[in-house]
Amino acid sequence: MLLSQDAYSKIDAELTKYPADQKQSALIAALAIAQDEKGWVSPEVIQDIAQYLGQPPIGVQEVATFYNMFDVKPVGKFKITVCTNLPCALTYGDATAAYVQKKLGISFRETTPDGMFTLIEGECMGACGDSPVLLVNNKHMCIRMSTDRIDGMLAELKEAATQEQAADATAAASHASTVEGPKNSAHSSKGA
What are the residues facing 110 on neighbouring strands? 119
> Of the candidates 55, 85, 101, 112, which one interacts with ligand FES according to CB under 6 A?
85
What are the residues facing 140 on neighbouring strands? 136
Interface pattern 110-149 for ligand FES (x via CB under 6 A)? --------------xxxxx--x-x----------------
Q: Is 45 exposed, middle or buried (0-12, 13-18, 19+ CB in 10 A)?
A: buried
Q: Which is nearer to ligand FES, 41 or 88 (CB)?
A: 88
What are the residues facing 135 on neighbouring strands? 81, 141
Q: Which is nearer to ligand FES, 82 or 157 (CB)?
A: 82
CA distances to 8, 31, 73, 161, 173 from 18, rounded to whole Å, are 16, 16, 30, 37, 44
> Of the candidates 87, 120, 136, 154, which one interacts with ligand FES according to CB under 6 A?
87
Q: How far is the CB of 80 from ligand FES (least distance, A)?
A: 14
The SS3 call for residue 75 is coil
Q: Give yes or no for residue 80 binding ligand FES (CB under 6 A).
A: no
| Footprint on this chain of ligand FES (rule: CB under 6 A) | 83, 85, 87-88, 124-128, 131, 133
